[in-house]
Chains A and B, each alone.
Chain A
Amino acid sequence: MEVPKELNRRLKRIGGVNVYGEPNYRVVWGWSRLAEIGGRFEVDDEGRKWSWIGQKVEPKYGAALDNWHVEKWMPADSFGSPESWERNYTTRVDGVQVHLLGPYPSRGDYESIVTLPPISLNASACDAVAALVDRSRSLSRADRKKVITSKLDAKDRDWDREADAILDDAMPAFYGRPHAAGFHPKEKQ
């Protein structure tokens, strides 16, 4: 799937560019966004299992391949130092050195900040994405914490309402007490 050029142009206008002149925000298609991974790859070939050790390039967002991803550029130092990258993400498997996450991202890298459904990126969709990115840049830490806790509280309230409804249905009217209803006829003129 191809990203409308206009969308990425708008994101570039809103979010600016990094030190390399690349946009700070962009939209990519899940299947097209590739990254290197390394390790022992286990293969199940119609019941025949075997493995091999090495590096390969695969879609980065394996859990959301059929989705658009709005990505934000992160500078190299957000991934730690080259030494810590080497220490934490390089290992030996059966004597073979593998880079578990590929080489150190010395020019920084893009990370997904929001996953969109596989919709058509028409004009109004592009407006929405651009507005979303614009709005998100001004949130404080306190705002972000509030969003997390309010979602959990909302779930609790939903359960409460549902339980009340179920129990109200089960509870007899007037708390089960005997009662009588009457009416007062209109007075005769």
Chain B
Amino acid sequence: MAALANAQTIGVQLEKVRDKVPQLYERDNVFYAKVAKKGDVVSSRNMRIPLQLRAGGRGGLYSPDGGDMQRGSGTTYDVAQVTPIHLKFGVEITKLAEWSTDSGEKAVQNIAKTEVKNGMAQYRAFLDKLCNQPSTGQLGTISSIASNVVTLGASNFKASQRFHVGMGVAICDSGFTTVRGTQTVLGPIDDINGKITLDGTPGGTISTDVLLVEGSTVSTGNITSTSLFGIPYHQNDAQSGTWLNLNRANYPESWTPSVNANSALLSTAQIRLALNKIRLSLGLDALKGVTAYTHPAQTHSYEDLGIVISEIVKGGGGDSLDLFFNGDKKMAGTTILESYNADPTRVDFVCFDAWGRAVMKDVDMYQVGDTTVFPVYGASGGLAASYIFYFVTSFQLFVDNPRKGSFIKTLATPAGY
């Protein structure tokens, strides 16, 4: 008789499952976390932000001997306005998924609990991505599409900075006249080739079509819905268009100072100039509280200049370095705040004291009475063996002085990014 082989013992062998499930995708929410701490409570009506924009009064010489003293003038005030937008994030779980993981004997993770945590984190990451994208809600363009695989048009942002698996996108024509349909992003998100996969293709979809945040609306050549007023909206050097209902052309005070790097790598001179432009407008004190918000690619570019000490090791060697450092690196004295969702071709010097949120509803679960978890119904009208819950929030971001910040744009990124 042959020796006992391993194949004959499979039935009694334990199947080892690692008890740690690594997160294989990023869920950064750095910028949103900074502004999330603030909030002015508002209704559905516009929030009005009075601004003292220009000096008034007329000074000059005059003759007290009956001379004409000329007329006078006063300070110019105007009002910026902001309205909350409404954002949601749905999480759906089948009963089988719940039952299969509701004890330590069955699974290494309780999925119901984990999905509440994952949903919250992913929702904050979704909001953070929107803070770094245009306020129109435009996420990208279709360069080509085949078998539901979209090759994205050229952008400063990688695919994973704008999309995540499971999110909905609206597809509209490049003339913004009609939304062709809404689809769901499936995996994988291919950063290397700039591709995403959808669960379908609405009729009439062509290359040059535009991908918008789900729920966006268009009409007669315009995107009529609004997304979050994030970095690209408030830190903007455009001299035309509107900013919080004010005409930019009439108010240079709404133009954020900028430095054009013209596709060069980051340099100390650009950083100094960007910070100096704030000082020219608002004085030396204006730089207090300014933070350098940027993508790790630009932090690395800064380190490649060879002028920053990268290794700040807390507790290493037991020396008194611990007394000095909290791990924050500085760029010309400004604390660096890095985010994977930031534009890799920009460094934004942001004064977070000037930022605020008009909040109608802070992040919470959607609730009807005491109910936060809702059943899903099948095609027959009967219950489907699933349930769904939503995170919702209604708010908008504003800045009370766009010139309290500045930015360096069109930077080259170092090799490897």
Q: Which residues of A contact B (CB under 8 A)?
A: 30, 35, 37, 39-44, 47-49, 58-65, 67, 69-70, 72, 74, 78-80, 85, 88-89, 100-101, 111-117, 119, 124-125, 127-128, 131-133, 135-136, 139, 141, 143-145, 147-149, 151-152, 155-156, 159-160, 163-164, 167, 171, 175, 177
Q: A60–B283 Cα gap in the complex (Å)?
A: 13
User: B259-280: contact bitstring with A at CB < 8 Å (1 yes, 0 no)?
Assistant: 0000000011100110111011
- Chain B residues near A88: list those with CB within 8 A: 269
User: Which 7 pairs, one residue from A and one from B, show the smallest C-beta to C-beta distance?
Assistant: A64-B333, A49-B55, A61-B333, A62-B287, A63-B333, A136-B309, A144-B310
- Chain B residues near A175: list those with CB within 8 A: 102-103, 110
Q: A70–B325 Cα gap in the complex (Å)?
A: 13
Tell me whether B311 and A112 are in contact (CB under 8 A). no
Chain A proximity of B388: nearest CB distance (Å): 19
Tell me whether A127 and B319 are in contact (CB under 8 A). yes
Q: Which residue of B has the minimal Cβ distance to A47?
A: B55
Q: A186–B378 Cα gap in the complex (Å)?
A: 57
Tell me whether B276 and A39 are in contact (CB under 8 A). yes
The listed residue with most A CB atoms (<10 A of its CB), out of B272, B319, B333, is B333
A-B contact count (CB 8 A): 164
Contact of B305 among A78, A125, A136 (CB under 8 A): A78
Tell me whether A139 and B321 are in contact (CB under 8 A). no
Tell me whether A80 and B269 are in contact (CB under 8 A). yes
Q: Which residue of A has the minimal Cβ distance to B116?
A: A167
- Chain B residues near A100: list those with CB within 8 A: 273, 276
Tell me whether B333 and A167 are in contact (CB under 8 A). no
Extra inter-chain contacts (4) besides given A64-B333, A70-B309, CB under 8 Å: A59-B284, A119-B324, A152-B28, A163-B117
B307 within 8 A of A: yes
Tell me whether B303 and A44 are in contact (CB under 8 A). no
Q: A41–B308 Cα gap in the complex (Å)?
A: 30
B49 within 8 A of A: no
Chain B proximity of A88: nearest CB distance (Å): 7
Chain A proximity of B72: nearest CB distance (Å): 13
Q: A147–B323 Cα gap in the complex (Å)?
A: 19
B120 within 8 A of A: yes
- CB<8 Å pairs between A and B, sample of 15: A47-B75, A49-B54, A49-B55, A59-B284, A62-B287, A63-B332, A63-B334, A70-B309, A78-B305, A79-B267, A114-B330, A117-B324, A151-B338, A155-B30, A167-B117
Chain A proximity of B192: nearest CB distance (Å): 18
Chain A proximity of B209: nearest CB distance (Å): 34
B281 within 8 A of A: yes
Q: A40–B276 Cα gap in the complex (Å)?
A: 11
- Chain B residues near A141: list those with CB within 8 A: 304
Tell me whether A101 and B269 are in contact (CB under 8 A). yes
Tell me whether B279 and A128 are in contact (CB under 8 A). no
Q: Which residue of A has the minimal Cβ distance to B304?
A: A141
Tell me whether A128 and B323 are in contact (CB under 8 A). yes
Q: A163–B124 Cα gap in the complex (Å)?
A: 13
Contact of A143 among B310, B323, B338 (CB under 8 A): B310
Known: A79-B268, A163-B120. A143 touches B311 (CB 8 A): yes
Q: Which residue of A has the minimal Cβ distance to B322?
A: A128
Contact of B113 among A78, A115, A171 (CB under 8 A): A171
- Chain A residues near B290: list those with CB within 8 A: 63
Contact of B311 among A43, A147, A149, A164 (CB under 8 A): A147
Tell me whether A63 and B268 are in contact (CB under 8 A). no
Tell me whether B334 and A131 are in contact (CB under 8 A). no
The listed residue with most A CB atoms (<10 A of its CB), out of B54, B103, B290, B324, is B324
B320 within 8 A of A: yes
Q: A47–B53 Cα gap in the complex (Å)?
A: 11
Known: A63-B290, A131-B321. A113 touches B113 (CB 8 A): no
Known: A139-B311, A148-B299, A163-B121. A101 touches B323 (CB 8 A): no
- Chain A residues near B27: list those with CB within 8 A: 156
Tell me whether B321 and A69 are in contact (CB under 8 A). no
